[in-house]
Structure 1
Amino acid sequence: MNKISILIANYNNGRYFKECYDSIISQTWHSWEVIIVDDASTDNSIEIINEIINKDTRFKLYQNSSNKGCGYTKRKCAELATGEYYAYLDPDDALFPHALEWSVEELEDNDKIIATYSQLIFCDEHLNPKNIFNKIKQVHNNKYFFNCPIQISAFFVFKRSAYLKTEGINPELTTAVDQDLYLKLLEVGDALFIKEPLYKYRLHANGISQSTSKQKAKDSFSRVIYEAMKRRGIQEINKKPVPQTYTDAEEIYKLLEYQTGILYRLKTKATLFLTM
């Protein structure tokens, strides 16, 4: 039974970790490890997490010597992992019991895919389900796919062998870290969408998506997209030139506006249908 490494980058979210922990130990897939890297939290996260994992050797807790940021911490998680498969899980979120099993089975049944991702459910602060994020869907992967608007999200499980073919997560990033990971992995293989909720996403006041950091994340995502364009050797998109140097976010997003049009979306759906 192949092992999956659950990777958790924590910063001041210890108070939410118990439900995350409970969802992990309730998994129907039993070959797993958990790598937790704390990014120099200023709350009592370390004490809380240590008390919860209670010397369970399947959980390994590490600490950054100082606050390094999300990119550095998530990259360190991957460097410390030993499983055949990796998956990031935020410490304030949780998994459905069959999340690991269903994801790993898809990866083992299909050599052509290097990752899976699933539906997710938005939950309130107490992790009570609210609604499904209905924008996630199966994508047709090509060099012009930049996950903008977002279609690939959690629960994202990927092969270690595929990750090692990439540059890895950019340690300098503080936001758009997951998007950087998705785009790099899609350059070495395809991802399969599991049309079932496997991930519980907690909405709360301290979450990045609900704070003033949202604009910062949007700007960072545009830089991630631009770097992907350069890696892929793209000089023009939809007959518009890709700038030689990065200037601002709107210039990058305007290059991708055509991908939200009805004709483009219909063409993509038809292509995807024919290749299934």
Structure 2
Amino acid sequence: MTSAEPLISIALCTFNGALHLKKQMESLINQSYRPLEIIVVDDRSTDDTLSILQEYAKTHNFIHVFENQINLGFVKNFEKALTLCTGQYIAMSDQDDIWMEDKLEIMSRHIGNYDLVYHDSAFIDEYDQLIGNRKMSDHYHVYDGESNLPFLMANCIAGHAMLIKKDLLQFALPFNKAFYHDWWIAFVALTVGKIKVLPDVLVRYRQHADGITDSLDRQSNKVVNPKTELYDLRWIAHCLTFDNKKNPEEITYIYKNLKAHQDGKRGFGLFFFMLKYYNILFYLTAKDKSQLSRLNRIRKFAFKQ
């Protein structure tokens, strides 16, 4: 790594994360990539989170800690953290994961002409133990294409796995706090630019009862849980608010058909619509083993009340 390398900012958001925070901070500080800055925004923690962060900032001049005056919630907190980043590239970090030390170095080598690159992640539990050697790619098909349509139904790109170009923020901000910020960034990146997936497992992604997101469905209550349903019209309507010069008519057509389905319409029109779009709309989550099972799911969608 040379001094000519561009600055990478890590946007870390914290809230009552003292239990696992030190392990995550060590993994961020020990990144092999330089130059690096770590922007931390604490969302009014009531435990030892802020004092832990301040101790790290005393001994590392590239760590900058900010404390919110009011609790913003995790989506708006990430928005604030991202706006404070000064690097050409930005990586987002949760407070309780563990990064591989070469994560940023590997990702920086691949971002090139892409607006966003992302990697695979391994699941760990509260005790840092791998959960059955399971990975994010075991639960979602990773996407490495140019269409934003699969992201109308689901998302395979977690915030902790992204490296984005700062220029992307001019299109992605501000966030709507009703929806996950990483879903939105992924959709925007595929609408205005292009993305690339890396097969490397570069983060140990913690799953536990206090987590905001739960990729293994181990919680019974979630802030947002569109992936357990066939579709979320609110999310698709939100995607339609974006100044999309790529395929707005197609997304509007998809929305209208799904709205008709939600309103109780059934019939061959929906059958042929889903026959046309099923493979791309459900690419990220479809577990169908055969063409027959796919057709059966389409049939149920189009005709079952």
Normalising to structure 2: TM-score of the pair?
Answer: 0.73
Report the equivalent of 1:236: 253
Question: Secondary structure at 1:60's aligned position in 2?
Answer: strand
Larger radius of gyration: 2
Partner of residue 144, structure 2: 139
Is the Cα–Cα contact under 8 Å of residues 8 and 87 in structure 2 kept in the other structure?
yes
Residue 205 of structure 1: CA displacement? Answer: 1.7
What's the C-alpha RMSD, in Å, of the aligned pairs? 2.9
Identity %: 23
**Structure 2 match to 1:156:** 162
Alignment of 1:78-97 (within 5 A): 78-97=82-101
Q: Distance in 2 between matches of 1:29 and 1:114?
A: 19
Q: Deviations over 1:156-202 (max 9, x none)?
A: 110011222x04141x4155222122212222111100001011111
Contact 1:70 1:175 in 2 (8 A): no
Residues 10 and 97 of structure 1: CA distance in aligned 2, closer, same or farther (over 3 Å):
same
Distance 1:34 1:230 in 2: 32
Q: Gaps (5+ residues) in structure 2?
A: 264-270, 295-305
| TM-fit CA distance, 1:19 | 0.8
Residue type matched to 1:52 in 2?
Y
Please, what TM-score do these two structures have when normalized by structure 1? 0.80
Q: 1:26 to 1:221 in 2, by over 3 A?
A: farther
Please state if 1:37 is matched with 2:53. no
Which of structure 1's runs of 4+ aligned residues deviate more than 6 A? 254-257
* Aligned equivalents of 2:108, 2:47: Cα separation in 1: 35
Match of 1:250 in 2: none
CA–CA distance in structure 1, aligned partners of residues 207 and 47 of structure 2: 20
* Distance across 2 between alignment mates of 1:87 and 1:222: 29
Identify the range of structure 1 (224-233 vs 61-70) with the bigger mean alpha-carbon deviation.
Answer: 224-233
Instruction: Name the CA shift for 1:88/1:65 in 2 (closer, same or farther; >3 Å).
Output: same
SS of equivalent to 2:91: strand
Letter in 1 for 2:153: C
Correspondence list, 1:81-120, <5 A? 81-107=85-111, 110-111=112-113, 113-120=114-121
Secondary structure (helix, strand or coil) at the match of 1:86 reads strand
Match of 1:25 in 2: 29
Q: Return the letter of the residue paired with 1:202.
A: R
- Rounded to whole Å, the distance in 2 between the matches of 1:54 and 1:129 is 33
Q: Separation in 2 of the partners of 1:32 and 1:17?
A: 19
Flag the 1:212–1:40 CA change in 2: closer, same or farther, 3 A. Answer: farther
Q: For the residues of structure 1 that align with 2:240 and 2:252, how far apart are their CA atoms?
A: 8
What is the identity, as a one-letter code, of the residue corresponding to 1:229? Answer: L
Q: Describe the SS at the equivalent of 2:75.
A: helix
**Which amino acid in structure 1 is aligned with residue 65 of structure 2?**
L
- C-alpha distance after superposition, 1:110-130 (max 9, x if no partner): 32x111000000001122222
Partner of 2:71: 67
> Among residues 234, 237, 243, which one is paired with 1:226 in the alignment?
237
Measured in 2, the distance between the counterparts of 1:92 and 1:222 equals 31
Task: Say if 1:88 and 1:157, in contact at 8 Å, map to a contact too.
Answer: yes
* Change in 2 beyond 3 A, CA 1:50/1:215: closer
Question: Following TM superposition, by how much is the alpha carbon of 1:81 offset from its aligned partner in structure 2, in angstroms?
Answer: 0.5
* CA–CA distance in structure 1, aligned partners of residues 33 and 119 of structure 2: 17
Matched positions, count: 251
Q: Which residue of 1 aligns with 2:222?
A: 214
Matched residue, 1:251: none
SS of 1:214's partner is coil
